[in-house]
Structure formats: C-alpha cells, structure tokens
Structure 1
Amino acid sequence: MEIRDAHFPGRAPLDAYGEGGFRFAEMSHRGSLLCVPSGIYGWDVSAPENFSQNAFEKVFQEQEDIEVLLVGTGTELRLLPQDLKTLFREAGILADPMSTGAAVRTFNVLLSEDRAVAAALLAVD
C-alpha cells in the first residue's frame, strides 16, 4: 500500500475557512493548508512559532512560479521572522503576513486575476 501526501492537484479558490479547516473544490480539509502552483497541500504547521525555512520548503521548490506569498498567521497578524523574510526576498517572493481570513480573501482575488500567488494558511477555529 502506498501512502502519499494528500493534495488537490490544481489551483482552486477557497470557499470557506474556520472550525479548524478549509473548504475548496467541493472538498474539506482539517488543519492548515499550503496553496502553491502545483496544488493545495495539507500543511503540518499549526502556529506562527513553527514558521521556518523547512516549513516553507514547497514554496521555495516552486519559487520561479510564485511572485506573492500570502501567509495566514491565524486570527491575528503575526510578523515573519527576519531570516525568513530575507530568504523570501532572495527568492524573489513578496511574503505578506496577515490574518488567515484576510489571506483567504486576498488569495481568492489574486487567483481570480490569474496572478502568480501562493498561500500558507494556518487553520483557525
């Protein structure tokens, strides 16, 4: 039996968030999400304190297709660590932290405009 990382192979707007998860593409997911050009993935980060280069590895793997990274930091805005901001800048990615709700709304707008956008979204209750 093969066990793979669960993901949705494509780009889709996010229909809802809250209660510890997200809804998109007629599916639901409990936990945090990472939305990159190759698809929507479950993300094993649950708090801003866990933000690290390793946590954003998939973003860096797809950096040539990402101009803007929206980082949903939960119910309140939390700033990104300076070393992480530097890594994003060096990769040519504008990383913009905001509350998860604001990040979901902004992601949907930029996605509808066919922009090179990605999102890293912490689940909220």
Structure 2
Amino acid sequence: MAGPRYDGFVPGRHQIDAYGNGGFRFADMSHKGSILALPSGIKAWEATSAQNLGPADFLPVRAEADDIELLIVGTGTELVPLGEHLRWHLRELRIAVEVMPTGAAARTYNVLVAEGRKVAAALIAVA
C-alpha cells in the first residue's frame, strides 16, 4: 500500500485514478478489492461478484441515501443486471441506479463527481 495509512475508509470525495489488477487507485493510495465511493468517502467493499448482490451489500448506501441521487454500480468486466429485489430496495431509498461494467462505471463516476453531482458508486474490482 503506497501513500498515507489506509484502514478501509478514506474520507472525502475522490476521483478513481485507476482500476484493474484486482483493485483501484485513488487519493494517492492503492486498494485491492471492491469499493464503495460514497459522499462521506471511499470504503472497502466485500462484494466480489454482481451475481448475488442483495440489500445487505448496500447498507452503507442506505446510511447516506439523503446525500445520493444516483448510484452507479460497476459489475465487473461484463454488465450484470441487478436482481429485482435489490432494484426495489434501492428504489425505496429514492436513489436512481445505473448498472454498467466497472470501467465505464468508474469513468462515469469521475465525471459526475467533477460536476458536483450527488453520486455514489459501488465498484466490483476487475483483474
């Protein structure tokens, strides 16, 4: 791990500088594994596949729902539709959801953060 101490949470809004090799670079740090980029900061995320995502995987999103208008979900190298139960759960939070491969999701997130939008991202790491 390069840069400052990293304990699974980096406060503040950060662009995703790079993705691949099973992780991400942001805020002058590297992280192996998936991440949640939320209004409060970037958190390590246990998800490894979009196939079985459920409401419990998005509890941190629920906690910050008032500050999120759009959630971008990066599903890995391929587009994987979210299950209907999860879509309903996110709809109840009044959060719009866009699902796309992780690379496109990271790029879209960066553009929307730069525009000052109320956006969050759930990004599954890719090799």
Compute the TM-score of the two structures, normalised by the length of structure 2.
0.93
Of 66, 84, 87, 1:85 maps to 87
Gaps of 5+ in 2: 1-6
3-state SS of 1:58 partner: helix
Separation in 1, partners of 2:105, 2:50: 14
In structure 1, stretches of 5+ residues that fail to align are none
1:16 equivalent in structure 2: 18
Q: Deviation at 1:50?
A: 3.1
Amino-acid identity (%) = 53
Contact 2:71 / 2:122 at 8 angstroms: preserved in 1?
A: yes
CA distance in 1, matches of 2:52, 2:44: 15
Q: 1:40 aligns with which of 39, 42, 47?
A: 42
Match for residue 54 of structure 2? 52
Once the two structures are superposed, residues 24-72 of structure 1 have per-residue CA deviations (whole angstroms, 9 ceiling, x without a partner) of 1110100000011111000001001231111000001110000000000
Please state how far the C-alpha of 1:87 moved relative to its aligned partner.
1.2
In structure 2, the partner of 1:119 is 121
- TM-fit CA distance, 1:6: 1.5
Aligned length in residues: 122
Q: Deviations over 1:5-33 (max 9, x none)?
A: 62101110000000000001110100000
Name the TM-score, length of structure 1 as normaliser. 0.94
Q: What is residue 66 of structure 1 aligned with on the other side? A: 68
What root-mean-square deviation, in Å, do the aligned CA atoms of Structure 1 and Structure 2 show? 1.2
The amino acid of 1:74's aligned partner reads G
Q: Which amino acid aligns with 1:82?
A: E
